[in-house]
Amino acid sequence: MKAPPSSSGALLRKGRLSPYLFTLLAFILFVTILYGEDFSCIFGGQFEDYRPYRSLSSPTKKKVEKLAFSLGEAESGCDIFSGRWVWDDRHPLYEESDCPYIQPQLTCQEHGRPDTDYQHWRWQPHACSLPSFNATLMLETLRGKRMMFVGDSLNRGQFVSMVCLVHKIIPEDRKSITTKGSLTVFSAKDYNATIEFYWAPFLLESNSDDAIVHRISDRLVRKGSINKHGKHWKGVDIMVFNTYLWWMTGLKFKILQETLGGEDRDIAEVPTEEAYRMAMKTMVRWAKKNMDPNNTRVFFTSMSPTHAKAIDWGGSEKGNCYNQTEMVDDPNYWGSDSRKSVMNVIGEVFRKSRYPITFLNITQLSSYRKDAHTSIYKKQWTPLTSDQLANPVSYADCTHWCLPGLQDTWNELLFAKLFYP
């Protein structure tokens, strides 16, 4: 009696599968299992994993193994933008008189401010602590690299603050600062490093692009026109964008479809939020095209609040930040000059983006600081009238911030997010 055929042989005959082919398939399966990780590395690039961030502080991003310049991860559950102000005798981190780079619009002590309490507050997150700002680490990280702040005068203030925070450890003859047109460059020669500021209040091309003469009431932005400025940003390693204040001219904003300066101009008037959304999308597209997320970092600083209406915090209807020496103590305070609809636009654009932009959410923590503005303690570029002198509220600057002061905290937060994202 013949022995029954083996089950594998029966299957081979039934399926008409050659024994040699069966052996080859078995070998391929074995190699795939053994070297599966290597195959993933080879082919994985074709199927990149994109995961949206869940919050504004962690915007939507393309997955990268490790964000450039990071030294570690932030503490679990820590939102460094949620916290409180605490008194700290170790602040300020530098003296106004020790930093010659502060513009006279921001030197409050030099221009007669009688108090210094606004300099001594430190931001304390609820669930963790900020790492101490380390000027040596910052400069070593910038060795052979460029850091640039792009935006309006508020971003220029943050740029100056960063320069003040690092310049003291650089010998006097090994540092310099130059300005040409829209670009200001602070150079640390021994590090072959630069910290730069580029004036572009809308990021896009506008009729307010002159770095000196730009006070134009009828503001106009050209649609999608970022390359006029963007060509000066190429090659930057750490980029810090901001744009907000200059868009706040009303509920509508004018967008030019054609080239600025043309005779036949096609101008569309759109809701400010839509105009702002266009600028945000254009910025993200530029970053995605020109900044490699494996080697560079892009930050966006949220809107800087103003304190032009004292009634917002329970003060006089005719008052503002003038003579304010204490901060707002309501943890839920949100001033009427900070438009949440614009904040929502930033969130929408960043959440949909696949490019990693780190959001510096300074709005809420700065909203408490009605005490930190330059107010009347700054250089006045035009002589004050007798009526203004009789009523200081009328010319108090409740937009910009004294240095040293609040904007140093913005850079402490930038430092934290750069090294511990």
Catalytically active residues, by annotation:
153, 397, 400
- Beta-carbon neighbour count of residue 179 at 10 Å? 12
Q: CA 383 → CA 107, 320, 386, 387, 389, distances in Å?
A: 18, 21, 10, 12, 10
Give me the DSSP letters along 90-141. T--SS-GGG-TTS-TTT-TTTTT----GGGSEEEEESSS-PPPP-HHHHHHH
Is the peptide bond between 404 and the residue preceding it cis, with omega within 30 degrees of 0? yes
Tokens of 205: 């091309």
Q: How far apart are the first and last CA of the chain?
A: 76
Is the peptide bond between 19 and the residue preceding it cis, with omega within 30 degrees of 0? no
Q: Which long-range contacts (CB under 8 A, 24 or more apart) does 389-397 make?
A: 392/322, 392/323, 393/318, 393/319, 393/320, 393/322, 396/320, 396/321, 396/322, 397/105, 397/373
Q: Which of 69, 80, 75 is nearest to 409 (CA)?
A: 80
Q: Which residues contact 73 (CB under 8 A, 6 or more apart)?
A: 420, 421
Are 62 and 355 spatial neighbours (Cβ–Cβ below 8 Å)?
Answer: yes
Q: Decide: helix, strand or coil at residue 413.
A: helix
Q: What are phi and psi of 155, to 5 degrees?
A: -70, -30
Give the H or E element holding residue 50.
Answer: strand 50-51
Q: How far apart are CA 49 and CA 63, in angstroms?
A: 6
